[in-house]
Structure 1
């Protein structure tokens, strides 16, 4: 009976730790919205799905950095314990596999804790496609930029600095 009580107490303690960890998860909207005043071609928005990829990469690299991400379908609740309000502000797709890729994505975001703005950042990444770029499509190369930005944001979330410029 005493062993059962200890197991129950241990389980309760683990649930409290797990509950507090999930309460500290960073809210991120999925898909990440495009900025209303951003300069992003409609074909990029429709074909490349950078908005969903960015959210997924923030979560993936966040996990690698010990940061839990909780997705929201709509705008994040800035009054939540932790919320990252992030937007894709620019995406450029010039060139192609034959003449060379020139792709870039820019993102801006702010971290809120319990309704208070803690820090903000801007992030920018460019790519020419990397190795075997001639075999990659435009969306694939743009996907490389949002992957790098997702990793940049996840690292920034570990120690947010206001006014940070991430990436290139």
Structure 2
């Protein structure tokens, strides 16, 4: 009897650690009417940047692989990301704050099961005035990657984060 509790805990941990992986679908694309300055789109390659910055979070959550090609195994769970808006022009921090907005859809067994919209803004952090636009936008991409993985694990995470970010009426 005294071994029953540790065995039950071990079984629960083993089950949790063997949850089906959820991959980041590649390529990440732009939404049809995405608002992105052409110069930033060309120089920063935002879609590749997002994959590069988000992959470590997916890899950690999956215990290995992070990405899956769009035409790979249709039964594999994946997150499909579309970039919907990027606020930023050349000139680094001197041209104002930068932000990135995405729409993330969880696809399971070939069907979209849920969708969320996320936005992250930054002024570049410490020494932001010495960073270029692409480097500053990498901060938003990294934060969004972490947000998406958190949303996959907890669907209420994105909703509660968005609610907390809204200004309070005075």
Do they superpose with TM above 0.5? yes
The answer to whether residue 116 in structure 2 is matched with residue 116 in structure 1 is no
Any unmatched runs of 5+ in structure 2? Answer: 1-17, 166-170
The answer to whether residue 98 in structure 2 is matched with residue 103 in structure 1 is yes
Deviations 1:17-55 (A, max 9, x none): xxxx69x43343333111111111111111002211212
Q: 2:135 aligns with which of 140, 148, 156?
A: 140
Q: 2:83 aligns with which of 74, 85, 88?
A: 88
The answer to whether residue 37 in structure 2 is matched with residue 41 in structure 1 is yes
Match of residue 154 from structure 2: 159
1:19-34 equivalence runs, <5 A: 24-34=20-30
Q: 1:70 aligns with which of 67, 70, 95?
A: 67
Q: 2:121 aligns with which of 126, 147, 152?
A: 126
Residue 59 to residue 165, structure 1, CA distance change in 2 (3 Å)? farther
CA distance in 2, matches of 1:141, 1:151: 16
Any unmatched runs of 5+ in structure 1? Answer: 1-20
CA distance in 2, matches of 1:98, 1:139: 10
Residue 76 to residue 119, structure 1, CA distance change in 2 (3 Å)? farther
Residues 28 and 71, structure 1, Cα contact 8 Å, conserved in 2 = yes
Q: CA RMSD in A?
A: 3.0
TM-score normalised over the length of structure 2: 0.71
CA distance in 1, matches of 2:157, 2:142: 22
Could you say what secondary structure the match of 1:84 adopts?
strand
Deviation of 1:162 (Å): 9.6
